[in-house]
Amino acid sequence: MRSHLPRLTMIAAALVSTTALAGQVAVQIKGPDGKAASGVRVSVPELMRSSAPSDKDGIVILKNIPAGDVDITAAPSGFRPIQQRVTVAQNGTATLNFQLEPSDALKRAALANSEPATEHLAQKQAYLNSIKAVKGKKPNIVVILFDDLGYGDLSSYGNRLIKTPRIDAAASQGIKLEQFYSASPVCTPSRAALLSGRYPNRAHAANHVYFPTGHPMATIRRSMGWANALPKDEILLPEILSRAGYATGAFGKWHLGDQAGHRPNDFGFQDYFGILYSNDMKPETLWRNDKVDTPADQTDQATLTERITDEAIAFLRKNAEKPFFAYVPYTAPHLPHHPNPKHKGVSEGGTYGDVIEDLDTNVGRLLQTLRDLKVDDNTIIVITSDNGGDWGGSAGNLRGRKGETFEGGQRVPAFIIWPGVTKPGTVSQEMGMNFDFYATILKELNIPLPSDRIIDGADIRPLLAGGKTPHDFLYYTTVWTGSFAGVRDGHYKFRDIVADPSPLGAGGEAYNAIPSLYSLDKDNESHDVSAKHPEELERLKKQLDAFRKAYQHNPRGWIDPPSVVSR
């Protein structure tokens, strides 16, 4: 058996003699999704005690490593062990890149876990079969959804560097909602809520985001029993509107599953063009309905916003004589940022500003098309974001950002232009959430809500007309586990201890070690007021606990037997 004593003796002598004979090793660790992986311990086996975990940026610096050849290892649970040999120079820094890959055991677990069961497919079909074409004049609907646009990224929300005159002009024609929320601080869950009218937890969509089939992160999701596509028994708004006589089209980012049977055409969209997941995921293939339109190596992200707009405009022109629902979920300003050459270097907000000002131009084109077609006076226009801004974006005066249950993670810009309902130039401080559009549209069309399931959204037409919110409470969900971690009413917000472990490492949020209470009408989460208002903390904590208990008892939110009268 080989003895390591000579090697250890040499290392000990080197350390004692002088630190000049030592250098350091910098390791960048990325998860299977290509993003920084925190909490992954890296070590030098021969030095025994020389180990350290990666920081939030996925970086580990191992100092005082003896000069010469040395092995660097990482063996995080659930992933293949990594070992690389590197040469350390005296007083130098050697660099390594570690990419985590699922272990064989994790892959076997993935094969053993199928997608969550479809439980209410028959009830869904019966409901859709009951919907008849709506008679009379029906409003057109256009939903414009930005990807990771922060609360402070538009000039109408206070940004002084990024100019968005076309979006601002459109907003001035309707109501600006300053207390409006996405149902999650990350992409997939928020989109599931918007289109289903339900908290994303009910649709197996609250655990981080869906990944392309074959992606290592898709394997990890399956191994943990997490869905990687929206269950087929969810009833989405386009399915209902299609049955009601609408032309339905989606143009942009889907992110609710790329598998056959879970794509936009499978959930009621008659026309689709775009990318089935995020623009930072490979491959960057563009789809037209159920076929590949543009191979990944031919996709130009710099002009993708423009191309999405072109497709949406073509849809509007094709369907100008009939009621239409156009869903335009842009891929921008999600990372990576690829400014259109027409806008590159123009914005005072740098590359990020260039991307948003390109969005502004294209939103202007879209809205001008409605005017040119003379259908703007009968079109409901929704402009909002799927969650808070990422790094590079602005949360304005809010705390936190994408991925967090602070306000900056879930409070988003929102404008509604609804002729005959909203008044130009109105600003509302009443709270609402993106799942409210579902119930609001169906109520406007006199279509009953599905009665076999809980619909969390509510009809917000009175709010849009300048009245009060229909909600007593709204709930905040975490990124990885999809836990309900906070609740707010019209004045206060209770934020529970957030422990949201990621399968890639420590993960989660660690900002508050104790439950916190914030006065949202006086302060933007800078000061915990629980000591001053313990009764409010206790009241909201009980409300959150009760909601959690009800959810745990009935996670999918089924009503069995279906109620006769819907909410």
The domain boundary residue, chosen from 471, 486, 507: 471
Range of the domain at 53: 5-101
Instruction: Report d(CA 277, CA 279) in Å as an integer.
Output: 7
Indicate whether 153 and 296 sit together in one domain: yes
Instruction: State the CATH number of the domain containing residue 220.
Output: 3.40.720.10
Are residues 361 and 117 in contact, defined by beta-carbon separation less than 8 angstroms? no
Query: Catalytic: 337?
Result: no
In the chain, the number of structural domains is 2
pLDDT value at residue 76: 85
**pLDDT bracket for residue 15 (50, 70, 90):** very low
- Indicate whether 271 and 416 sit together in one domain: yes
Strands 291-294 and 22-30 turn out to be unpaired
Same domain? For 259 and 407 the reply is yes
Same domain, 187 and 54: no
What is the band of 550 on the pLDDT scale with cuts at 50, 70, 90? very high
Same domain, 51 and 189: no
Catalytic residue selected from 204, 208, 255, 337: 255
Answer yes or no: is 546 within a domain: no
Give the pLDDT mean for 398-424. 96
Q: Is 400 domain-assigned? A: yes
Are both 48 and 164 inside the same structural domain? Answer: no
Whether residues 20 and 146 fall in one domain: no
Residue 71 belongs to a domain with what CATH number? 2.60.40.1120
Does some domain include residue 444? yes
Same domain, 338 and 269: yes
Mean pLDDT value of segment 522-541: 97
Stretch 160-184: mean pLDDT: 97
Residue 121 is assigned to a structural domain of this protein: no
Last residue of a domain, one of 471, 504, 535: 471
pLDDT above 70: percentage of residues in the chain: 92
Same domain, 68 and 199: no
Q: Of the residues 74, 101, 128, which one is the last residue of a structural domain?
A: 101
Residue with tokens 């959430």: 433
pLDDT digits (tens, 9 = 90+) for 206-243: 989 999 998 888 888 888 888 999 999 999 999 999 99
Residue 328's contacts (CB-CB under 8 Å, 6 or more residues apart) are 142, 143, 144, 145, 250, 251, 252, 308, 309, 312, 366
pLDDT at 500: 66
149 and 97 in one domain? Answer: no
Whether 560 maps to a domain, the answer reads no
In whole angstroms, what is the distance from residue 350 CA to residue 356 CA?
Answer: 10
Is 165 found in the same domain as 285?
yes
Given 120, 187, 204, 343, which residue is catalytic? 187
Asked whether residue 37 falls in the same domain as residue 183, the answer is no
Domain-located, residue 483? no
Residue 555 within any structural domain of the chain: no
The whole-angstrom distance between residue 276's C-alpha and the CA centroid of its chain comes to 14
Mean pLDDT confidence for 406-419: 98
- Catalytic residue list contains 255: yes
DSSP letter assigned to residue 225: T
Q: What is the pLDDT of residue 111?
A: 74
User: pLDDT at residue 46 above 90?
Assistant: no
Indicate the pLDDT class of residue 504, thresholds 50, 70 and 90.
Answer: low
- Confidence class for position 281, pLDDT limits 50, 70, 90: very high
Q: Classify residue 280: in a domain, yes or no.
A: yes
